[in-house]
Amino acid sequence: MMTMKKMSYVVLCASLMLGAAGAQAQLRVEITGIGSNQIPVAVASFVNESAAPQSLSGIIKADLARSGVFKLIDADAPVSETAPVSYEQWKSRGADALAAGTVQSMADGRLDVRYKLFDTIKGAQISSMNNAAAPQFNRLLAHKIADDIYEKLTGVKGAFATRIAYVTQSGREYRLEVADADGEGIQVALRSNEPIISPAWSPDGTKVAYVSFEKKKPIVYVQNLVTRQRTIVSNEKGSNSAPSWSPDGSRLAVALSRDGHTQVYTVNADGSGLRRVSNSSGIDTEPQFSADGQSIYFTSDRSGGPQIYRMSVSGGEAKRVTFGGSYNISPRISSDGKTLAYISRRDGNFQLYALDLASGQELRLSDTANDESPSFSPNGKYIMYATESGRRKSLAVVSVDGRVKQRLTTQAGNIKEPTWGPFMK
Amino acid sequence: MSNFKSLAFIAATAALLSACSTPVKVAETPVVERAPEKVVAPVDTRQVQPVTTASVDPLDDPKGVLANRSIYFDFDKYVVREADTPVVQNHAAYLVKTPSRKILIQGNTDERGGAEYNLALGQKRAEAVRKSMAALGVPEGQMEAVSLGKEKPKAQGSNEAAWAENRRADIVY
């Protein structure tokens, strides 16, 4: 436990790229299911929105439609947020709410975006936002407005302005990519000729921990997405894998084989302070901190096949959590700590399940056969996971009630190992 | 004749001078070129100069027993099969005899199931080989058991033949 490796260095080699990704295969999002109770909302074109590089109202509408929670009511003409709202007219069109706004080009090149949200039933303004930003932040502004609409109308924080990270594989090249939650704005964080697995966002959204095989064996790294700085968090003898962050971002839980078989350890984010947490004679892997940081969920084969268990962050006795089926792996816990997502093998199919921890109620969320790597949206409403589409690996998103479904595919190659990033300031 | 030789030497030096910009290398090269002349012209013709052939490392013999570096496993099994024990024994014997050599034992799995759980299963296969080798006297310092899980399949395809090929541990020197 004293062999802490604290290798922190800036990698200057060309294989590590950050920033503009150049010619990227775009992600295609396909909506395959919608929610049961949809809120009817009208998003009018913003006045003068041609001043922005992309249509703000278009991005907002795409976000809201993808969520499956809204029914978009046609709003043909642009509506200024300062004009008097004819509530009766919007109500008669079937809209419970109206979003309106204006874009103005500022002298310094920035765009000034003003938006207001009206409740047509109450006949009142319920929200507003004024933001000035450079044109490259246009999409982000639109996602933030969509987040505001989502939150004001559903009571749940929106996650449209969040980002995702995932791994693509095309030929011999593996890439760790970062994109907006809608699959747009792809940026390459790491390029390698060897596999990359298990990326995990830090709670502050500036770093990603992952496992890289670039040295002929799995080693856990933390990469700062902004500065490119890469830190080896764990390079113990044997395999180093399955990183997950503590809620405060100070420590990571990892799975190491240094003691002769795979067990759960915790380590500081700089690679110091390694400590063994689990103590079994079999496999203990895939550790995940609980929402309060006090316990660790993990996969163990102590009862024969793999099942999900929970133990204290300081170790000690583990409590079995999953009982349905003989193969349950990849635990992920929702931010409110109430729901466990995992992959279960039933009748030879590996499928996404959600378990209500209070009631023990289990719900199958997918009808595909080779699901992997679930990841909750930070608002706990959606789960992204890896699956197969044809013979290619693709990503899918499903709402926790199983009703809303989306599929994300690339034009070529495989896309897998998704991790949904946190809310950012 | 000796005039011709020194002429050739001057020419070679000139060529080197023009080819290489570092004076250090130019100064060294002539010494190396002249050295054999002294050795191949022994004064005593009854003096025998012994020659020793370089010993061939058995690891480099493509037809030798050490060329086989894969150990296969049955489905859901993590013990070295009887049929594969000679592979382990041959490499163990070599490693005991050659303490300067180190190996990586890379465990692999078939494609079915999760990436991380398969990584742990591949580790079990690598550890099984490591323990067998340790029992045959190979010091732990010469071995590292690691896993590639299902990430580096040797055989592509989703059929029993491909899966069987991928349930494997490889010895990497």
What gap in Å lies between CA A176 and CA A19, rounded to an integer?
A: 12
Nearest to A217 among B117, B120, B146 (CB): B146
Mean pLDDT of chain A, nearest integer? 91
List beta partners, residue A279: none
Whether the complex's predicted ipTM surpasses the cut of 0.95: no
- Least Cα distance to A198 among A249, A128, A265, A254 occurs for A254
Q: What is the DSSP letter of A44?
A: P
- Least Cα distance to A417 among A200, A185, A189 occurs for A200
Size of interface A-B (CB pairs under 8 A): 90
| Closest CA in chain B for residue A373 | B114
What gap in Å lies between CA A114 and CA A48, rounded to an integer?
A: 11
| φ, ψ of residue A15 in degrees (nearest 5) | -70, -15
Q: pTM for this one?
A: 0.86
Nearest to B104 among A217, A327, A343 (CB): A217
- Mutate one of A193, A257, A264 to test the B interface: name it (highest B CB count within 10 A): A257
Q: Please say if the pLDDT value at position A88 is more than 50.
A: yes
What gap in Å lies between CA A312 and CA A369, rounded to an integer?
A: 33
- Choose between A244 and A4: higher pLDDT: A244
The Cα-based distances of A74 to A84, A91, A143 in angstroms read 19, 12, 20
- Least Cα distance to A422 among A374, A377, A383, A373 occurs for A377
pLDDT score for A37: 81
Measure in Å the smallest separation between the Cα of A299 and chain B Cα atoms: 8
The Cα-based distances of A227 to A16, A206, B4, B83 in angstroms read 11, 9, 65, 52
What gap in Å lies between CA A385 and CA A366, rounded to an integer?
A: 10
What gap in Å lies between CA B161 and CA B13, rounded to an integer?
A: 63
pLDDT in tens, B100-116: 999 999 999 999 999 99
pLDDT in tens, A191-204: 999 999 999 999 99
Label residue A358 exposed, middle or buried (CB < 10 Å: 0-12, 13-18, 19+).
exposed
pLDDT in tens, A120-179: 999 999 999 999 999 999 999 999 999 999 999 999 999 999 999 999 999 999 999 999
The Cα-based distances of A88 to A47, A91, A96, A123, B59 in angstroms read 22, 5, 10, 8, 86
| φ, ψ of residue A110 in degrees (nearest 5) | -75, 165
Judge: A197–B172 Cβ closer than 8 Å, yes or no.
no
Enumerate residues 6+ apart whose C-beta is below 8 A from A404.
Answer: A31, A33, A34, A35, A67, A68, A69, A382, A397, A398
- Mutate one of B103, B117, B132, B156 to test the A interface: name it (highest A CB count within 10 A): B117
| Joined tokens for residue B99 | 């303490």
pLDDT in tens, A13-72: 223 333 333 344 577 777 777 767 899 999 999 999 999 999 999 999 999 999 999 999
Enumerate residues 6+ apart whose C-beta is below 8 A from B79.
Answer: B73, B128
Helix or strand (DSSP H, E) at A152: helix A138-154
Enumerate residues 6+ apart whose C-beta is below 8 A from A300.
Answer: A278, A280, A282, A283, A284, A285, A306, A307, A308, A309, A318
Mean pLDDT of chain B, nearest integer? 84
Interface residue ranges in chain A relative to chain B, Cβ cutoff 8 Å: 195, 197-198, 213, 216-218, 237-239, 241-242, 255, 257, 260-262, 283, 285-286, 299, 306, 327, 329-330, 343, 345, 350, 372-373, 417
pLDDT in tens, B11-37: 444 444 444 444 444 444 444 445 555
- Mutate one of B77, B116, B118 to test the A interface: name it (highest A CB count within 10 A): B116
pLDDT score for A224: 98
Judge: A286–B123 Cβ closer than 8 Å, yes or no.
no
